[in-house]
Amino acid sequence: MMDIDFQNKGIIDFDEAYSEMMNLISSKPKHHSIWFLEHTPVFTIGISEKTIHEDRSKQPPFIKTDRGGKTTYHGPGQWIFYFMLNLKSLPFPPSELTKNILKTVSGVLTDLDLGHQINNADPGIFISGKKVASIGMRIKKNYSYHGLSININTDLSTFNSIKPCGLDVEACNLEDYININQEEFKNSLIDNFVKLLTK
């Protein structure tokens, strides 16, 4: 069974987390790594974005990244799971990675009796037409990095100042629809991510 290194990194700047991700990938680890964290306020720009450009002078700053997708917001109250996975050791094809992560989150939300929808065309999870979770990843030399964000109780006024992920939709918070025990919800997600990677 592939070892999984899980780390809770708390609240961390995007640039710092990205640098640590790249250092980890460069070390060619034989294990999988999952990080749980929140970012200080930032807009990140994916490689599909054509209309929004990097501007670090703004507050929050707009930072260009190498992940898939367009522009999204990160800030306190939004949970992020970064997946640095050794793709040679996945129990499924790497092409199914983002789809399987979304299915895993969906399964946990279903257990909570929360109505929602997965969108694989514009990858994410939606509640009543609003986006509550997004995913954007990158593969490099047989490793994945970047990952999944879930809005728990983040700053929606800032998030919705852009089109989330380039879509004509609004972002929403999970806690607007359901009361959750955050620790139990987090642990359930982690347990199910581990099952996904070790089945």
The one catalytic residue among 45, 109, 152, 165? 165
The single residue listed with the structure tokens 């089109």 is: 163
List b or e across 12-50, with b for residues whose CB sees 16 or more CB atoms inside 10 angstroms.
Answer: bebeebbebbeebbeeeeeebbbbbbbbebbbbbbeebe
Q: Are strands 71-74 and 32-39 parallel, antiparallel or unpaired?
A: unpaired
List b or e across 80-92, with b for residues whose CB sees 16 or more CB atoms inside 10 angstroms.
Answer: bbbbbbbeeebee
CA atoms of 3 and 11, how far apart (whole Å): 25
Is 172 annotated in the active site? no
Catalytically active residues, by annotation? 165
